[in-house]
Amino acid sequence: MRIVVALGGNALLRRGEPMTVEAQRANLRAAATALATLYRGNELVITHGNGPQIGLLASHDVAGPLDVLGAESEGMIGYMLEQELRNAVPSPAPIATLLTMVEVDGDDPNFANPTKFIGPVYSRSQAQRLAAKKGWLMKEDGTVWRRVVASPSPKRIFEIQPIEWLLEKGAVVIAAGGGGIPIVSKPGGGWRGVEAVIDKDLCSELLARTLDADVLLLATDVDAAYADWGTPSARAIRRANPTWLRGKSFPAGSMGPKIAAACTFAETTGKRAVIGGLGNLGALLHGTAGTTVTQQID
């Protein structure tokens, strides 16, 4: 079975944890243990977020543009995840981390309305100082403030062919980290990077669809998607079709992109996507945990 697993930010850093290598390694070690349950007998592609990491890199006084920082964070996170996977699985198959460029539209309306949270959390006063000093756009994220950047929709993944080659040779592939490196076509031909961060879940869906994956697993820090989240009537959604789900409201900064990705994958492929806890990957794959999104439900 060909599986694409999208690791949520909790696989790297939980809110409130220090942004240290040690903290990230501990979380990646837990993620690798969970991924080991899918390792044997399947073709496995792993994606991951990078919001905290790219935001921290961007806060440095000598930071480069976001596309370059995205590549830097892909390499950093891929290295640690690859190493932890090798430690978690006895006699592992080959594992490869690929820097992944993703085409976006230079006229995407999301460039005019930045919504993607990146980087550490700040108080209101800290956010105001950083906005004045660095020219960042800052918005509330729950009870804290964070930087927001443009998040254009992914159109095409450039490294599909080498990913296919690696899978055919039995390798586990880590790709499209942080939603991939956003690039646009230049008027005279060729390509250039842009100041943006692509949503990891939407890029993971495009990757899974393009690779003709059998299932898309969207791993997060909750056990399922919930209807009426944050209210006394909140309830886990165990199975749903895309039409019903699209009629519900989910937070844009957290569950919303996962729901959109799951619905698109189910609608366009006729296959299933599952949203749920990272520690339950085996159960998510078998449909006994999480939220299964499929067109096979009326």
Active site residue 9: yes
* Helices and strands (DSSP H and E) totals, the chain: 9, 17
Active site residue 50: no
Residue 95's closest CA among 107, 86, 87, 104?
86
Catalytic residue, chosen from 8, 70, 258, 276, is 258
Q: What is the bridge-based pairing of β-strands 43-48 and 2-7?
A: parallel
Catalytic residue, chosen from 200, 271, 280, 290, is 200
Active site residue 271: no
For tokens 């939407």, the residue is 202
Active site residue 186: no
Which three-class secondary structure state does DSSP give residue 118? strand
Catalytic residue, chosen from 51, 110, 116, 277, is 116
What H or E segment, with its residue span, contains residue 25? helix 21-39
Residue 200's closest CA among 1, 10, 2?
10
Q: Which residues of 238-251 are buried (b: 16+ CB within 10 A; e: fewer)?
A: eebbbeebeeeebe
Active site residue 200: yes
Contact between 109 and 99 (Cβ < 8 Å): no
- Return the active site residues: 9-10, 116, 200, 258
